[in-house]
């Protein structure tokens, strides 16, 4: 996702119409203002605990795209995500990049992760690490019943060369009702997330938005 802009271009969304990029259609038919926060790469106790505490302050719900290996290692915090009413998605077992991985191995890695989260990934949500997935991989996943969830806005919170302030601007400058926003509950992103998440929750809550988990 290094070269991907903060706001996903409309052209990219049109090229890959079988992926879920946003919920603009739903937003246009509703009088409510709704945003969809998503968190990748967890669960990681320190980072995920912080995220959960901030979400709870605003009664906000989110969707967590979990790495299977982290679910195995940190079952307690994973269960807390479930208990607090958030949605779960698959982010592979070992954070594999689809472009660099044989399709058979890629699918198998996703199915391995699913063994640890399937009870809670009832909608069969999947997000490819780095946002990179081969067309054939996406096709096979859809055949297996998965919804491939991408994004409308990405904060770039994991990047060391992106400041806390710029991460916040990436969200505030591009988010509209129906946007799917990407953040990370990882140690790499934690410094930026600690700055950004409270401000995003406060700003949009004061503007009359609700934060909902993804429901397909």
Rounded to 5 degrees, φ, ψ at 182 are: -105, 125
41 is an active site residue: no
CA angle 62, 68, 71 (to 5 degrees): 70
70 closest CA partner among 52, 97, 88: 88
161 is an active site residue: no
Those residues whose C-beta lies under 8 Å from the C-beta of residue 30, and which sit 6 or more positions away, are none
Catalytic residue among 22, 40, 152, 157: 40
CA atoms of 176 and 8, how far apart (whole Å):
13
Kindly report whether the peptide bond that precedes residue 75 is cis, defined as omega within 30 degrees of 0: no
Q: How many of the other CB atoms lie within 10 Å of CB of 22?
A: 20
Catalytic residue among 74, 91, 120, 184: 184
- Which amino acids are annotated catalytic? 40, 184
């Amino acid at each position: 996702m290094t070269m991907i802009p903060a706001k996903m271009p409309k052209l990219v969304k049109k090229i890959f119409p079988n992926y879920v990029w946003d919920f603009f259609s739903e937003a246009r038919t509703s009088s409510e203002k709704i945003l969809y926060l998503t968190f990748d790469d967890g669960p990681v106790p320190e980072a995920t605990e912080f995220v959960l505490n901030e979400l709870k302050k605003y009664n906000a719900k989110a969707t967590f795209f979990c790495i299977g290996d982290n679910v195995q290692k940190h079952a307690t915090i994973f269960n807390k995500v479930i208990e607090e009413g958030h949605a779960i998605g698959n982010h592979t077992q070992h954070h594999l990049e689809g472009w660099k991985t044989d399709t058979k191995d890629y699918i198998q890695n996703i199915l391995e992760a699913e063994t640890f989260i399937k009870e809670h990934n009832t909608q069969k949500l999947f997000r490819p690490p780095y946002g990179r997935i081969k067309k054939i991989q996406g096709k096979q996943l859809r055949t297996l019943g998965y919804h491939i969830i991408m994004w409308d806005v990405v904060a770039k919170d994991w990047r060391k060369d992106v400041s806390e302030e710029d991460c916040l601007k990436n969200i505030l400058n591009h988010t509209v009702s129906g946007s799917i926003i990407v953040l990370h509950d990882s140690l790499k992103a934690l410094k930026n997330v600690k700055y950004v998440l409270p401000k995003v929750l406060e700003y949009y809550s004061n503007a009359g938005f609700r934060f909902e988990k993804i429901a397909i």
